[in-house]
Chain A
Amino acid sequence: MASKKVLLAEDDLDDQILFRDFLQHRTDITLMSIVENGVELFETLEEIPSPEELPDNIIHYQNMPKRNGRQTIELLKESNRYAQIPVVVYSTYADQKLIDNCCKIGACTVVSKPISKEGYDKMIDGFLQIIG
């Protein structure tokens, strides 16, 4: 199976490093790049010329400056070019309200940020299962 291209939107430096380090050993996903916020996410996507090279999955941190996870999902889903890309939200605290709100506007799932290496692996396993 081809490695899935993943784009991460995450502004926390620690979490950027953890994500990169913990998932380095995996061959089933490739971290395309990490963006700092929702605005930067769109800039990065615009620079990709061919639709085939767009990410297979966008992992978006909910609590972001400039544009939070929900606002970004709404914009992605409005765009013809990006509407098909599965978006998952991860948050420090995922309560039912956040889950409901994000899923209503088109997020695949909402999860709590893991607190261990195993947690990260489990989270990615779950994402891969959803995006197929």
Chain B
Amino acid sequence: MLNNNSKYKTKEELEAELEELRLQLEEANETIEAIRTGQIDALVVQGEKGHQLYTLKGADQTYRVFIEKMTEGAVTLNRKGLILYCNSQFATMVNLPLSKVIGLPFDTFITAENQVQYKDLFEKCWKHDCKGEVLLVAGKGQTPVQLSLTTLELEEGVSLSIILTDLTSQKATQKQLRQNNQQLEEINQALESSNNDLQQFASVASHDLQEPLRKIQIFSNLMKEKQDELSPESSKYLEKIIDSSGRMKVLILDILNYSRLSASKREVECTDLNELINELRDDFELIIQEKNAEIHIGELPCLDVNRGQMRQVFQNIISNALKFSVPGKSPIIRITSKIISDKCFNSKQDKNGLFCLISVQDNGIGFDEKYLNNIFALFERLNGKDKFEGTGIGMAIAKKIVDKHKGLITAASKVGQGAKFKIILPIMQSQP
């Protein structure tokens, strides 16, 4: 150790002393670093009474490492709010070397506008744990942090522990979320207004288009009564006007029907599909006789559906099956059903399932499956108007109704080999 007895020291002696002190400092620094990083739990110090063993309060190596390594900042304050200890994460947060942080009042690092809030927290926390969000002064910048304040019982008395969680990325996420929500709202508004436009259009179609159309129909019918005054050619043109205006009338009604589906409130009731399809069979009686068609109806369930709308679905499918028949061949339509477990077309049969799969199979002209999506799109027609009449809205209406019932619809077919329409519907409609 040091030789304090000699009054005079040579330059060499002084240099040696300096070297000794430097080594001591280095050793002390190493010890501090070792304590900080949890490499040691106790120190043996040579004192006046010989060697003494010092254990560290709460010398729990795990916790010290934990505090040092964790991504949150951690500080310990005394009653006056001075920083007794901090981890290196906190020093990084406030952009200062560790050594300069110790001993400073913690409120040095709180922005002016958050001082009142911090003082409030600092007062409350001695009674019970509390949390708050403040802006931390970090060099020239500011960092949003959450402070979690807890008191600690130490040997020297009660002190305060504060854990600081950096909220920068959380705030950024919140901001992003707010922006996304706002965007969504704008899109919703745009959608709503375009829906309104559509409704408006439907109402215009219902009156303003139908009035002149009716005039065309009525006056061409009147002219037809005076057919003997017309040349055969004019007579032919007149027939075409009457035909076209009739088609236009059907088209307008179909568009109206389709657009009204989105607006209408859906009222569902338990509906016996056997009854519903038998009714339809009666409606189609004329064409069934004319085409010598057969409709075989298997046992069908009762489902929670809007009766009127579901009637339209089967009306459109059956009418298609009758319409697209192979010339000279009697249409045969088979309607079957089974209860299934899942809402998918290859689901297992399950008598306790929540869904029903209904198939309508015909022996008509069929279609190429590459046009499957076109069938359910508005105004799509796979066949020429000359051979088969129709507006191209029927199956779009069917799909929309099935969609509104939270169901699925698809079709399978090969050209010349009939078509099979498959519908999945939930047995119960849970009301929103």
Contacts and interface: CB of A to CB of B under 8 A. Distances in A.
A93 B209 CA distance: 10
Interface stretch (A44-52, A78-86, A111-119): A111-119
A71 B335 CA distance: 48
Contacts of B206: 93, 95
B207 A63 contact: yes
Interface in A73-132: 92-93, 95, 113-117
Query: Which of A18, A92, A114 has the most chain B CB within a 10 Å cutoff?
Result: A92
B274 interface: no
7 contacts: A12-B211, A92-B207, A93-B206, A113-B214, A115-B218, A115-B221, A116-B221
Contacts of A53: none
B243 to A, nearest CB: 14
Given A18-B218, A92-B210, 17 more contacts: A12-B211, A14-B215, A63-B207, A92-B207, A92-B211, A93-B206, A93-B207, A95-B206, A113-B214, A115-B214, A115-B217, A115-B218, A115-B221, A116-B218, A117-B221, A117-B222, A117-B225
A12 B217 CA distance: 16
> Chain B at the A interface: mostly helix, strand, loop or mixed?
helix
B203 to A, nearest CB: 10
Interface residues of B, number: 12
Interface string B34-61: 0000000000000000000000000000
The 10 closest A-B pairs by CB, nearest first: A115-B217, A116-B221, A115-B218, A92-B210, A93-B206, A92-B211, A93-B210, A92-B214, A115-B214, A92-B207
Nearest to A97: B260
B345 to A, nearest CB: 34
Interface string B202-228: 000011001100110110011001000
Nearest to B220: A115
Interface of B: 206-207, 210-211, 214-215, 217-218, 221-222, 225, 256
Interface residues of A, dominant DSSP: loop
A61 B6 CA distance: 129
A8 B228 CA distance: 33
A63 B210 CA distance: 12
Nearest to B217: A115
Contacts of B210: 92-93
Contacts of B217: 115
Nearest to A63: B207
A12 to B, nearest CB: 8
Nearest to A91: B207
A122 B252 CA distance: 24
Interface string A14-38: 1000100000000000000000000
A119 to B, nearest CB: 8
Nearest to B308: A96
Contacts of A113: 214
Nearest to B221: A116
A93 B202 CA distance: 12
A113 B210 CA distance: 11
Contacts of A18: 218
Contacts of B214: 92, 113, 115
A117 B215 CA distance: 13
A48 B256 CA distance: 42
A91 to B, nearest CB: 9
A12 B207 CA distance: 14
Nearest to A18: B218
A18 B206 CA distance: 22
A14 B212 CA distance: 11
A9 B192 CA distance: 38
Contacts of A116: 218, 221
Nearest to B213: A92
Contacts of B218: 18, 114-116
A117 B256 CA distance: 27
B307 to A, nearest CB: 14
B239 to A, nearest CB: 15
Nearest to A96: B308
Residue from A93, A95, A113 whose CB has the most chain B CB atoms within 10 Å: A93
Nearest to A120: B218
Nearest to B205: A93
Contacts of B215: 14
B422 to A, nearest CB: 31
B127 to A, nearest CB: 67
A114 B221 CA distance: 11
A116 to B, nearest CB: 5
A93 B206 CA distance: 7
A130 to B, nearest CB: 23
